[in-house]
């Protein structure tokens, strides 16, 4: 038997609409196609060599050895749009993937390994580990 919400949409659920609250270890894809992991735990943020006292609410993090990149979650509004005075929307979040278990895959030695670009793409391509929970249309 279908639920009313499923009947109206014509399929089970919808990924459009209001974005979800971002959670620790979500993996996001920005408008320019870059992939990041969400880190909110100060101990994990310190492993990325960032002073967690300067971060309000967490970061988006990615490593592409030897480089590491991060963006403060405080720069995003509820629509997951990057707030900046500069033109362009490349940092807007267009997709959110959520792990089907708590935490990131423990096969990684540390947070820097988990945030490695290749590892992030592998995680979201494995449907046993991450599911797409929202996509901007």
Per-residue pLDDT tens for 79-135? 999 998 777 788 999 999 999 875 555 567 788 888 999 999 999 998 888 999 999
Q: Does 13 reside within a domain?
A: no
Q: Is the pLDDT of residue 12 over 50?
A: no
Residue 13 is predicted with a pLDDT of: 42
Q: In what order do the strands lie in the sheet with 35-39?
A: 67-72, 59-64, 35-39, 27-30, 93-99, 130-135
Instruction: Take residue 28 and report the two structure tokens written for it.
Output: 């996001």
By the 8 A CB rule, do 82 and 76 touch?
yes
Q: Does 59 reside within a domain?
A: yes
> Percent of the chain scored above 90 by pLDDT?
51
Residue 106 is predicted with a pLDDT of: 59
By the 8 A CB rule, do 76 and 21 touch?
no
Q: Does 70 reside within a domain?
A: yes
Q: Does 129 reside within a domain?
A: yes
Q: Does 93 reside within a domain?
A: yes
> Which SS3 state, helix, strand or coil, does residue 24 take?
coil
Residue 38 is predicted with a pLDDT of: 96
Q: Does 5 reside within a domain?
A: no
Question: Is the pLDDT higher at 31 or at 103?
Answer: 31
Q: Does 9 reside within a domain?
A: no
Residue 71 is predicted with a pLDDT of: 92
Cα four-point dihedral sign 124, 61, 35, 108? negative
Report the distance separating Cα 58 and Cα 118, nearest Å. Answer: 22
> Which SS3 state, helix, strand or coil, does residue 99 take?
strand
The overall average pLDDT reported for the chain is 83
**Helix, strand, coil percent content, the chain, rounded in steps of 5:** 25, 25, 50
By the 8 A CB rule, do 43 and 24 touch?
no
Residue 57 is predicted with a pLDDT of: 86
User: Could you tell me the end-to-end alpha-carbon distance of the chain, in angstroms, rounded to an integer?
Assistant: 28
Number of domains in the chain: 1
Q: Is the pLDDT of residue 78 over 70?
A: yes
Q: Does 7 reside within a domain?
A: no
Give the domain extent around 105: 18-135
Residue 8 is predicted with a pLDDT of: 40
């Amino acid at each position: 038997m279908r639920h009313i919400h499923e009947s109206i949409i014509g399929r089970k659920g919808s990924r459009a609409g209001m974005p979800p609250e971002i959670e620790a270890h979500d993996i996001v894809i920005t408008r320019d196609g870059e992939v990041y992991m969400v880190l909110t735990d100060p101990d994990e943020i310190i492993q990325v060599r960032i002073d967690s006292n300067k971060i309000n609410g967490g970061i988006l993090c990615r490593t592409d050895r030897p480089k590491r990149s991060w963006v403060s979650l405080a720069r995003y509004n509820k629509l997951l749009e990057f707030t900046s005075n500069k033109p362009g929307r490349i940092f807007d979040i267009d997709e959110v993937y959520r792990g089907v278990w708590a935490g990131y895959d423990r096969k990684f030695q540390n947070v820097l390994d988990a945030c490695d670009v290749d590892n992030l793409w592998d995680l979201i391509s494995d449907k046993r580990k991450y599911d797409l929970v929202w996509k901007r249309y």
